[in-house]
Amino acid sequence: MSHCIRLLSIAAKFSLLVFLLSAVFLCSSLSDRNPEFALTKTEESDLKEEKGKESVTEDDADAEDLEVFYPTNRWQTVHPGQAIPAGLHVRLNLQTGEKEAKLPDNTNEKSDMKDQKKRKRLDKVDIDSNSFTSQELKEALAKLKENEKTKSTMEVKANLEDVRKRFRPIEELKAEFEQLNMRIETDYEIMVKLINKFNSSDSTLDEKIAALYDLEYYVHQVDNAKDFLSLGGLQLMIDGLNSTEAVMKEHAAFVLGAALSSNPKVQIEAIEGGALQKLLVILATEQPLTVKKKALFALSSMLRHFPYAQQQFLKLGGLQVLRNLFKEKGMEALYVRVVTLLYDLIMEKMLLEGAQNNEDQMEEKVQQYSQVKLVPAVVEQDWCAIVSNLLALPEHDTREKVLKTVSVLMTFCKDRYRGDQRLNITLSMLRSEYEELAAEEQREGDKDGYFKELLGSINTIIQELR
């Protein structure tokens, strides 16, 4: 699904014209997530083959006022909201995450054949792309002319002729898509609908949850998350965190976590909107595991690479809240997630300090992280033992994560660990277990296997405790 290109129609904002990607014809799969709203297309072979070959920057300068995409024989970026004439090749640039389009190569008969085959699968959408209404054409031409002032008349004429062939009348398209019970929309339009659905007092709880479920999918994308913010969706999620319905809290946290992931702008808005406190309240109070799981997910997204949030988290007693999860029954599923978060936060800071150089920006970052007094709090609350006790868990990948965390904690927890008889026994047992597994692995021909690696970590820890 991640490679799918969502097709678009143009709402009132973009006047009468609806331009359609030829991709519609090629569309061989519908979004399994949200079939009501979106048509999608995957074309992995194209993606691989063409990826990153060239990029045209000419249009990038004034992207905002381009409403019609003007196709050429070269790949060009399609800006959000731009109308795209039918009949184009469209791809998703995996490096930039941007949609790109160009005129199809007429000489490429093979791919035409391929396209035709694909069209047959969606035979109802097999549209003749040579017709258009004069009103629509006029508007399209007017827009193009505005954007083409710098080009010679001849050039423009030739281009217009080309484009003219590719536009489609809106009514015809609409009728055809209504037949298929499909609407082609931009992510933005879809999010507006979902947010309205969620926010409407006419919606049932189930409908609201369904809207959140779909929104989660959209806000993963950085640009969508920013739109989500400007549409007021973020604050609705934050408000949803103190809903009386557990399922509402769970899904609001889920959407929030997705929107926050690696998105500094959203992180800042969310912390200002009070998300951190509310997430901590959920984690600190009696809630179903499913709710706490998603709250922890959102909290992790909020804290990662955001030292200011980490600092506030510590100030608000967040570390203690996480610590208390280990005293609560039924929260075992959260243990490893908490430890992983802790590990990531400690490493984040350590790596930055290790990579210190003289760039100003870097210094500022280091300065910010220096305010995050995570390790002293970790030692004070005796996370050393909480973490090492998790070595008793049976799953290898859990142990792997815990061993990694024990290793980074070693510097601060050494004294504590040296006197820990239980840890001593656990380590010895793990060592024999992994010696056996590593030997077996080796007999099977795997010289640098997984178990050997785990054994190495254990031996290092034992060594350091001597």
Binding site for ligand NAG (CB under 6 A): 195, 199, 232, 236, 239, 242-243, 424, 427, 462, 465
CB of 337 to ligand NAG, least distance (A): 25
CB of 200 to ligand NAG, least distance (A): 7
C-alpha–C-alpha distance, residues 406 and 409, integer Å = 5
Q: Which is nearer to ligand NAG, 170 or 225 (CB)?
A: 225
CB of 330 to ligand NAG, least distance (A): 25
CB of 229 to ligand NAG, least distance (A): 11
C-alpha–C-alpha distance, residues 264 and 232, integer Å = 17
Q: Which is nearer to ligand NAG, 89 or 278 (CB)?
A: 278
CB of 227 to ligand NAG, least distance (A): 12
22 neighbors 89 (Cβ within 8 angstroms):
yes
CB of 248 to ligand NAG, least distance (A): 8
Q: Which is nearer to ligand NAG, 125 or 219 (CB)?
A: 219
Phi-psi label, residue 52: left if phi above 0, alpha if psi -120 to 50, beta otherwise: left
Q: Which is nearer to ligand NAG, 15 or 424 (CB)?
A: 424
C-alpha–C-alpha distance, residues 340 and 348, integer Å = 12
Q: Which is nearer to ligand NAG, 377 or 465 (CB)?
A: 465
Which residues, 6+ apart, have CB-to-CB distance to 363 below 8 Å? none
Q: Which is nearer to ligand NAG, 243 or 398 (CB)?
A: 243
CB of 29 to ligand NAG, least distance (A): 31
* Three-state SS at 425: helix
As given in the structure block, the two tokens for residue 244 are: 């009386």
* Count of positions (residues) in the chain: 466
- In the bound complex, which residue of the shown chain has the CB atom lying closest to ligand NAG? 232
163 neighbors 71 (Cβ within 8 angstroms):
yes
- Give all strands of the β-sheet with 99-102 in edge-to-edge order: 76-78, 99-102, 89-92
Q: Which is nearer to ligand NAG, 242 or 442 (CB)?
A: 242
- Give all strands of the β-sheet with 29-30 in edge-to-edge order: 5-6, 39-41, 29-30
Signed CA dihedral, 405, 408, 410, 412: sign only: negative
